Structure 1
Amino acid sequence: MTIIQAIILAIVEGLTEFLPVSSTAHMIFVSSIFGIKEDEFVKMFQVAIQFGAILAVVALYWKKFFDFTRWQFYVKLIIGVMPALILGYLFDDKIEAVLEKPGPIAVVLIIGGIVLLFIDKMFKNNHIDNDDKISNKKALTIGFWQCLAMMPGTSRSAASIIGGMQQGLTRRLAAEFSFFLAVPTMMAVTCYSIFLKKWNVGGVEQKGYQMIMSSQEHITAFITGNVVAFVVAVIAIKFFIGILTKFGFKVWGIYRIIAGAIILLLIANGTIA
């Protein structure tokens, strides 16, 4: 992977991580175009640069994250993240091994897009507009919804936002709580991928940090990728909230359907496999 490819993947991550369009689908698509999808460092890199995106949420909502007088906020995040931690540890790698291919991802993108076309009408009377009103039970339920994102192409953001709206949250609060929930969820996944998971590199098992430290190119790619992902994610989050407030989810549903259809066409003509 070249530094240019690393920057492009980081831009894709920053743009799509918090939008209901599936960052996984987009990065697999881009890495397939580059012909680097099967590289173990690339697979680890695509997870590791989520750290930059995490910092974007913390930076934008720092008052909320560092207001230690509101301990209930942290409790809700802990409760909400538990389903993903447990089910992800048990099943995530197994599911990805079967479904992390462009074809199934394209189908899931289209199905999710169709769902988003109707979300605003389905939950148009939601009234919970402050995270203080989110009960622990609602936080847990949203956490289980988030687990749908274990299926590549679903989108962690889309799953948790839909879960939030199903629990009565306004679409703005559902989006913001999805951002908050992403911090512990993605931090856990990133740390697991870098420090615990064993990657098969040419028949030799290595942990993520060992791959990163194995060359100056990898170190540069890791640092640059996280910086780029952070900057782009800050812009994307602000952009998403503005579009969401004005237009709702339909625009993202249309985008998902078009993106999924394009991937299927590229598969059909042999551009990607």
Structure 2
Amino acid sequence: MIFELIKSFILGIVQGITEWLPVSSTGHMLLVDEFLKLDFPKDFTDMFFVVIQFGSILAVLVLYFDKLNPFSKHKNEKQKRQTWALWEKVIIACIPAGVVGILFDDLIHDLLYGPIVIAIALIVYGILFIVLENSHPTPTTTSLEKLSFKKAFCVGMFQMLSLIPGTSRSGSTILGAVFLGCERSVAAEFSFFLAIPVMLGASGLKMIKYGLNYTGEQVAVMLIGTVTAFIVSVFVIRFLMSYIRKHDFKVFGYYRIVLGILVLLYFGLIAK
């Protein structure tokens, strides 16, 4: 059992790092799983990769609790209304991915979850990040309060693209938000908040599908992965927000391209 707990710990680290950086947690999990396969049935492993995202979500809720809390005693009435409006924008933006995900989750998993699709998505989105940053877009939305409901929904349309494995949920939403004129910090924060209902829903759906019948070892593995993902996510979110105040997203674009090529080479040549 100790080896499975160590594997869970490592996977939690990978999840915590890659969930918030626009580099595709799915692509990284695919590679790590090749070398650190959990010794459990495939259904449980698939569910584990989704459920440990709950730890990442807790990090957002802890770090942004006051900003997301419409009942905060530190806010005046105007600020409370703005917080409710923020949640309304989040819900509106989650509709496209939520509907498509519920209707076509199994189909997407069966048809698209493979190393080739993931590698292509990594490379394509990496190129898009570089092209977008080279175009030097001038931000027109410089705060979450200035983010319109229409623009929030459009960001949600980009989030729908993240159902394709390898695109990265944060990558899709950040890329879309910057393309639509959002300042980088606004794009990143809104991406964090969009993850709350999306990932909570995905985790719950996977757990229900699995049947909630876990052994003690499986519960321990999930807890280790989730707690690790939470701790790592706290540091990664703080790092990203600090980084983008002075830098653009091009470095993530180059990284995605290199990773995509490595995935193609490994699964096209070595893994055979």
Q: Shift of the alpha carbon at 1:61?
A: 0.8
Which residue of the partner structure matches residue 89 of structure 2?
Answer: 76
- Check whether the contact 1:172–1:245 (CA below 8 A) recurs between aligned residues: yes
Q: Which amino acid aligns with 1:64?
A: K
- Check whether the contact 1:106–1:260 (CA below 8 A) recurs between aligned residues: yes
Percent identity of equivalent pairs: 40
Mapped pair 1:166 → 2:169: no
Q: Shift of the alpha carbon at 1:249?
A: 0.7
CA-based RMSD of the aligned residues comes to 1.6
Q: Shift of the alpha carbon at 1:123?
A: 5.0
Structure 2: distance between partners of 1:96 and 1:123:
36
Which residue of the partner structure matches residue 221 of structure 2?
Answer: 221
Counterpart among 11, 28, 32 of residue 34 in structure 2: 32
Q: Shift of the alpha carbon at 1:171?
A: 1.1
Mapped pair 1:50 → 2:53: yes
Q: Shift of the alpha carbon at 1:137?
A: 1.0
Q: Which amino acid aligns with 2:69?
A: F
Q: Which amino acid aligns with 1:116?
A: F
Which residue of the partner structure matches residue 152 of structure 1?
Answer: 165
Which residue of the partner structure matches residue 114 of structure 1?
Answer: 127
Structure 2: distance between partners of 1:51 and 1:132:
27
Q: Which residues in structure 2 correspond to 1:78-227 (within 5 Å)?
A: 78-122=91-135, 124-195=137-208, 197=209, 206-207=210-211, 209-210=212-213, 213=214, 215-227=215-227
In structure 2, the CA distance between the partners of 1:268 and 1:250, relative to structure 1 (3 Å rule), is same
Q: Shift of the alpha carbon at 1:141?
A: 0.8
- Check whether the contact 1:22–1:155 (CA below 8 A) recurs between aligned residues: yes
- Count of residue correspondences: 259
Structure 2 spans left out of the alignment, 5+ residues: 72-79
Q: Which amino acid aligns with 1:41?
A: F
Mapped pair 1:251 → 2:251: yes
**How high is the TM-score relative to the length of structure 2?**
0.90
- Check whether the contact 2:137–2:181 (CA below 8 A) recurs between aligned residues: no
Q: Which amino acid aligns with 2:32?
A: V
Per-residue Cα deviation, 1:82-111 (whole angstroms, up to 9, x for no partner) = 111101111232122112111221111111
In structure 2, the CA distance between the partners of 1:38 and 1:116, relative to structure 1 (3 Å rule), is farther
Which residue of the partner structure matches residue 269 of structure 1?
Answer: 269
Structure 1: distance between partners of 2:110 and 2:100:
15
Mapped pair 1:5 → 2:18: no
**Secondary structure of the residue that 1:19 maps to in structure 2?**
coil
> Which deviates more, 72-81 or 238-247?
238-247
Counterpart among 39, 44, 51 of residue 41 in structure 1: 44
Per-residue Cα deviation, 1:151-189 (whole angstroms, up to 9, x for no partner) = 000001011111111221111110111001111111111
**Secondary structure of the residue that 1:2 maps to in structure 2?**
helix
**Secondary structure of the residue that 2:137 maps to in structure 1?**
coil
- Check whether the contact 1:112–1:256 (CA below 8 A) recurs between aligned residues: yes
Q: Which amino acid aligns with 2:27?
A: A
Which residue of the partner structure matches residue 18 of structure 2?
Answer: 16
- Check whether the contact 1:52–1:227 (CA below 8 A) recurs between aligned residues: yes
Which residue of the partner structure matches residue 74 of structure 2?
Answer: none
